[in-house]
Amino acid sequence: MSDSKTKKIKKIAVLTSGGDSPGMNCAIRAIVRNSLKNDIKIYGIKRGYSGLIENEILELNSSSVGNILQKGGTFLQSSRSAKFLEKKYRKEAVENLYARNIDALIVIGGDGSFNGALALKSEFDLPIIGIPGTIDNDILNTQYTIGFDTAVNTAISAVDKIRDTAHSFERNFLVEVMGRNSSAIAIKVGICTGAENILLPNEDLNLEKIANDIKRGIRRGKRSSIIIVAEGTTPGRSYEIAQKLEEGFELSSKVCVLGHIQRGGSPTASDRFIATKMGVEAVNSLVNEEYGKVTCWNQSKIEMRDIEECAQKADINLVTDKDLAELLSI
């Protein structure tokens, strides 16, 4: 390939990688349509980096992305590829692009996917653009990632329903939300549902405080409570917490693990809008020969940042927001 700094882009490929998120389809649609408008051929890679290694690449046209805007998931499908961590497979992957004269790649995904893109940039000088897509909203230097708003709204609507039965039966509930290392969903859902407590992934559990908070609520007439638990590295950990509250503090709780329901569903207006803007700007950036960037969303607009600054997790936290939740849950 010629020097990526001076190359005029004629063929772009796009893939979605890692945990899928609602709104990814909107970004793909915008990429396809804006590429075609710029007389650039556009290719979709199936199943993320796995499909790139296995040469599952198809040319897309305008109607390939018709009627997908409102659909959750990603029509290109996704994967977490262990093989792609090895350079020999990355070489195979990039050769599949060269074989079709594809000269740039757009990667929609989280920090792990950006690390893969960064490797392609540094090892093969491949022009790449990253688009932040994960329900976790935990990528450094962007205030927003595609799918977060939909996931939060899905979780809020579930917690509202749980509130109804919690109140009717005078019960405590532990509602577990997604977020392996990310607090973002837990905190936003906790604040928006008036949760009595929020347990973050990386903090030490203070069961005595949790129990005292609930008992204080009961003394002043509260008949039910909701605790939002971020799943952390052990999805389902709420069952163990419930057991400890029962054994140590005679507090019985019901558990509801929301799980992958948070990853699906039709994207909200915010996710559709931001994903569309990101998709358009990803192509514009390649047309303008500005490579190695990420379409960050800061101060309500796109800000192109170097991928090196974004290939990391950020726990956009939110300690102050957790304080806010506590302040209001007394």
- The interface mask with ligand F6P, positions 219-258, x = CB under 6 A, is ------------x---------------------------
Least Å from the CB of residue 63 to ligand F6P: 29
Q: Which stretch binds ligand F6P (CB under 6 A): 26-34, 85-93, 134-142, 241-249?
A: 134-142
Element (H, E) at 172: strand 172-177
Measured CA to CA, the distance from residue 188 to residue 134 in angstroms comes to: 15
Least spacing, CB of residue 85 vs ligand F6P, in Å = 16
For 191, other C-beta atoms within 10 Å of its C-beta total: 19
Q: Which helix (H) or strand (E) holds 279?
A: helix 269-287
Q: Which residue is nearest to ligand F6P (CB)?
A: 19
Question: Which residues is 229 bridged to in the sheet?
Answer: 176, 199
Interface segment toward ligand F6P; rule CB under 6 A; list 35-43, 130-138, 210-218, 295-303:
130-138
> Does residue 198 sit in helix, strand or coil?
strand
Report the residue from 28, 178, 226, 280 that binds ligand F6P according to the rule CB under 6 A: 178
Is 188 one of the binding residues for ligand F6P (CB under 6 A)? no
Residue 205: CB atoms within 10 Å: 14
β-partners of residue 172 are: 225, 253
Q: Is 180 in the site for ligand F6P (CB under 6 A)?
A: yes
Work out whether 149 is an interface residue with ligand F6P (CB under 6 A): no
The residue among 196 and 231 lying less far from ligand F6P, judged by its C-beta, is 231
DSSP letter (8 states) at residue 146: B
Nearest CA-CA partner of 190 in 239, 156, 148, 220 = 156
Where does residue 69 fall: left (phi above 0), alpha (psi -120 to 50 degrees), or beta otherwise?
alpha
Task: Single out the residue of 112, 179, 279, 292 in contact with ligand F6P (rule: CB under 6 A).
Answer: 179
- 199 sits near ligand F6P (criterion: CB under 6 A): no
Q: Which of 19, 22, 51, 127 binds ligand F6P (CB under 6 A)?
A: 19
For residue 313, give the amino acid letter.
Answer: K
Of 121, 263, 272, 293, which one interacts with ligand F6P (CB under 6 A)? 263
134 binds ligand F6P (CB under 6 A): yes
Give the HSE-up count for residue 182: Cα atoms under 13 Å, Cβ half-sphere. Answer: 23
| Residue 135 near ligand F6P by CB under 6 A | yes
Of 103, 136, 138, 149, the active-site residue reads: 136
Nearer to ligand F6P (CB atom), residue 103 or residue 231: 231
Which secondary structure element, helix H or strand E, spans residue 60, and what is its range? strand 57-60
Contacts of 52 (CB under 8 A, 6+ apart): 13, 15, 45, 84, 93, 96, 97
Kindly tell me which residue out of 48, 111, 129, 136 binds ligand F6P, with binding defined by CB under 6 A. Answer: 136
Of residues 52 and 258, the one with the C-beta less far from ligand F6P = 258
Verify whether residue 136 is a known catalytic residue: yes
Q: Which of 68, 117, 63, 59 is nearest to 93 (CA)?
A: 117
Name the minimum Å distance from CB 74 to ligand F6P. Answer: 12
Using an 8 Å Cβ cutoff, are 48 and 89 in contact? no
User: Of 82 and 99, which has the nearer Cβ to ligand F6P?
Assistant: 82
Contact 17, 109 (CB under 8 A): yes
CB of 147 to ligand F6P, least distance (A): 8
Asked whether 228 and 195 are in contact (CB, 8 A), the reply is yes
Give catalytic residues, as residue numbers: 136
Which residues contact ligand F6P by CB under 6 A? 18-19, 134-136, 178-180, 231, 263
